[in-house]
Amino acid sequence: MSKLASRQVHLDFHTPELPFELGKNFDKRVFQQTLLKAEVNSITLTGRCHHGHIYYQTDLPAKHPQMKKDFLMEQVDACHEIGINAPIYLSVGWDAYAADKHPEWLERKPDGQMYGFEDYGQLAPGWKTLCFNTPYLEYLKGQIEDTIQHFKEKLDGLFFDIVWQDPCCCNDCIKKMSAEGFDPKSEADRAAFAKETEQFLKAEIHRTIRNLAPNCPIFFNEGNILPSIRPNLDQYSHLEIESLPSGEWGYQHFPTVVRYAKNLGKEYLGMTGKFHKVWADFGSYKNQAALEYESFLALAHGGNCSIGDQMYPDGTLQDATYTLIGNVYKQVKELESYNTNSQSVTEIAVLHPGITAVSTEKVDLALAGAVNILNEAHYQFDIVDQWMDWSAYKLLILPDKLVLTQVLAEMVQEYVDQGGKILATYHSGLIEEKQFIQALGVRSKGEHKTVPMYGYFDPIIFSALPQGELVMHGKGMIVQALNAQVKGEEAAPLVERTYQHYYSHFQAPVGEKTGNPLVTVNEQAIYYTFPLFEMYKTQGVKAYKELILAGVDHLLNGEKLLKSELPTTADTVVNHQPEEKRIVLNVLHYIPERRAITVDTIEEKIPLYDQTIELDLLTIKHKIALDECLIKNVVQVTNDQSLSFEIVADKLIFTIPKIDGYEIITINYE
């Protein structure tokens, strides 16, 4: 059974010094009724904020100077009276109070400048980041212990925020790096030492808590969930995917991260915000359609929901905000049971590039391209790392930049030897940047210097492409086909574009073929010489997507778990609830738009009508390890309507009359 509350609010309270009493208008009854009307069943309350202030009665000097009552305890007690969980938020990396008192505790860049929120300087507003190799760590641990001792058995959990270490060059870091054999002048060594510090920080906080509160739930938030979480994963009670699409995360982030996070063996939730933009965008309200999509997508992926807000300094919650949250959470409450304790039913695995390289992007561009291509085609897929079981997947995709260690290369080859198929692009499949794994059947001859090149493609495999040359807007590899057939050939432009000779506005037209392969195919793998996943994400060329999808279809012999005529703007997620004996099909149709210069949002849901779905029962039964299943009925949950269906050649076929934003279809079996 799920232990993580399903309809949460993450209530920020980053409050500086005030000209009036903090929380002066807090009314317990109004607070309680506001949460109950909004169908909230857990609210994360602030114990220690980015300003460094503490919001409960304590002898520690960082207590908020305008707080007279035990403000946080009042909120916790109010929540517990009405059966609402109240975990406590503690800021970690940002603490303005400590930064002002101890500037020597701040992180420093190699040039001596400070790290911080948007890298604000000394005379600009914003948080400056503290270093955990300074005495600040002991200061922080003392406040954590104080919080636990103050709330005792009332403590529902601890949420730690800004849990990361930048490549710091403060005096303490330089001293420790040198002592541990790192070279402070090396950028790579500074990054490695920072990651080691971050891992030590989590372990120290975990140890501090467990000494006083052995069963307290713990989450460390670093704004992302990547394979680098692995060394500390056992110290997490659950996962919270902070992802506000109108902010730096965008609508790309959550669909990517959740497909990795949900395979880590922890309960998880998706955290968005009620704000039109980002945290602390006071007086703003997200469009309801956008908040629905962000919450429903978390449900569809088997997670719970959290919506971010910030309490005003007088201790009040805003009616308009909780009316909006309530409008969404009333729907969530009706639908949440249909994906709880479910397992995703998938056919493809994408190997996470983060296992071999650190991306400078919030979402790695190659990984984002892979997610978009597969999601738009309604393939069912997961994102995996090397610690997960690949054997359950028919196809393993290596997007663009997975240069393999010898150990990883052996794992991939073993997967192929057991019958798995591989799709790789660009550098993926290279072993230590030298030669490709045997399964691809190609030999590296180096990298192109000419950008762009052109390609001609096999008209049978790539029948969806225009039957002419296709420009390749990316830097490609030069390979020799050994144990593979060439199904795409490269051609050069008439001239390279330089100041000495250029042709019209952009690249020159296609010239002669070079003799270099662009796509190679054998029985177990397809390899593309160009970084098509990143190219699709950055260029949006449909033909790049079609190149990948044709390869996927070829390797899977035309088999697909879900076939339909749904538009590419629809999301589909197939889950299995073994206890309920049902397959659950989630279909969402909300279209994010960029109507402003920097903000993506959704204003309306666009209904779809009479959408026929075909599910491959053999693939599903194999995936969920079920020998036989007799389909009892197919039900559209939102209106409790039974849908007529037929089974033809082990394909379950039915039509959904209307998809109005979010629809759940249950396929009940015995």
pLDDT tens per residue across span 56-93: 999 999 999 999 999 999 999 999 999 999 999 999 99
Domain with CATH 3.20.20.80 in the chain: 22-222
Name residue 527's beta-bridge partners.
424, 520
- CATH match of 346-555 with 3.40.190.10: no
Are 494 and 510 spatial neighbours (Cβ–Cβ below 8 Å)?
yes
Structural class in CATH, domain 22-222 = alpha beta
| pLDDT of res. 117 | 75
Residue reference for tokens 């609508």: 251
Q: Which residues, at least 6 apart from 283, have a Cβ–Cβ distance to it below 8 Å?
A: none
CA separation for the pair 224, 230 (Å, rounded): 13
CA separation for the pair 72, 86 (Å, rounded): 10
| pTM above threshold 0.75 | yes
Domain with CATH 3.40.50.880 in the chain: 346-555
Instruction: Mark the ranges of the chain whose per-residue pLDDT is less than 50.
Output: 1
Burial 279-304 (b: 16+ CB within 10 A, else e): bebeeebbebbbbbbbbbbbbbbbbb
Residue reference for tokens 């994400």: 537
Are 453 and 476 spatial neighbours (Cβ–Cβ below 8 Å)?
yes
Which of 140, 159, 12, 11 has the alpha carbon at shortest distance from 90? 159
At residue 367, φ and ψ (nearest 5 deg) are -65, -40
CA 493 to chain centre: 39
Inter-CA distances, 23 with 27, 51, 75, 189, 282, Å: 9, 16, 10, 46, 17
Q: Which amino acid, 530?
A: F
In terms of DSSP bridges, do strands 381-384 and 348-351 run parallel, antiparallel, or are they unpaired?
Answer: parallel
| pLDDT of res. 450 | 83
